[in-house]
Amino acid sequence: MRLVSFRHAGTRKFGAATEDGVVDLSQRTGERWPSLRAAIAAKGLDELAAAAKDVGADLGFDEIEWLPVIPDPEKILCIGLNYASHVGEVGRQVPEQPSVFSRLHSTLVPHRGKIVRPRASIDFDFEGELAVVIGERCRHVSRASALSVIAGYTCFLDGSVRDFQKHSVTAGKNFPATGPLGPWMVTADVVADPQRLELTTRLNGNVVQQDTTDHMIFDVATIIEYLSTVTWLEPGDIIATGTPDGVGAGLKPPLWMKPGDEVEVDISGIGTLSVNVVDE
């Protein structure tokens, strides 16, 4: 099942994406939950699947305003330096433990939205990533059971302001509207193994990153084990799992995103997140 968050007629809703549009699950479940995050927290995914089964789309894609698949996560946690190829291209050492930073809600951008190059810098880089959506409140999760706490998977574009990142990772990763998330969340039952996915990032139709998730230094289960040791994970929390090589900063000369560019993050079995770059 592919679950989306969207706005229609001024109201925020969620639903299931079909080939033709969206099944309005907010309406079909009696507006019981105000958001997809709330439905996940209430363990309502089975009910959503039943409501979406064998029904046609209520709305066409041209009738909705896309929202980040989880517009209101409590936390957005990101893993840096998680592919050896990327570690090498940026001249860093392979980490012994996951390297963690966080993002603010104001960085999120929806599918078909606009990612904003800040006026403070043109060193605006792309990082395509697999993102995990947590499905239940949990702490001290073992690696062996870590995949069981996942609600689903989605695509993420970690837009990075590289010159600011050099003196502060938090600053370089938290300019507004630099973190596209979507287009939808594929529920965990659809993805048999998150370490068997192909990730491709395209800039204006040209492939700039391409790798498979089995090349992660710390796999999804290890990341969840580590993060749940540090803090409580909550339903709807987003975990971005890192990017492979091919980022703009690793090229000579560097390749930065600029206004007018189209950027896509495509993950096999999940879908394609597409956004356009604009200036602040």
Q: How far is CA 241 from the centre of its chain?
A: 9
**CB-CB contact of 239 with 123 (8 Å):** no
Least Cα distance to 152 among 137, 183, 131, 138 occurs for 131
pLDDT single digits (tens) 43-55:
999 999 999 999 9
Least Cα distance to 6 among 46, 61, 48 occurs for 61
Share of the chain above pLDDT 90, in %: 95
Instruction: Report CA dihedral (162, 167, 168, 174) to the nearest 10 degrees.
Output: -30
**CB-CB contact of 222 with 98 (8 Å):** yes
Please provide residue 180's backbone torsions phi and psi, each rounded to the nearest 5 degrees.
-60, 140
pLDDT single digits (tens) 113-137:
999 999 999 999 999 999 999 999 9
Q: Is the pLDDT of residue 91 over 80?
A: no
The amino acid at 155: C
Please provide residue 252's backbone torsions phi and psi, each rounded to the nearest 5 degrees.
-125, 110
The amino acid at 130: L
**CB-CB contact of 187 with 3 (8 Å):** yes
pLDDT single digits (tens) 147-202:
999 999 999 999 999 999 999 999 999 999 999 999 999 999 999 999 999 999 99
Mean pLDDT in residue range 18-22: 96
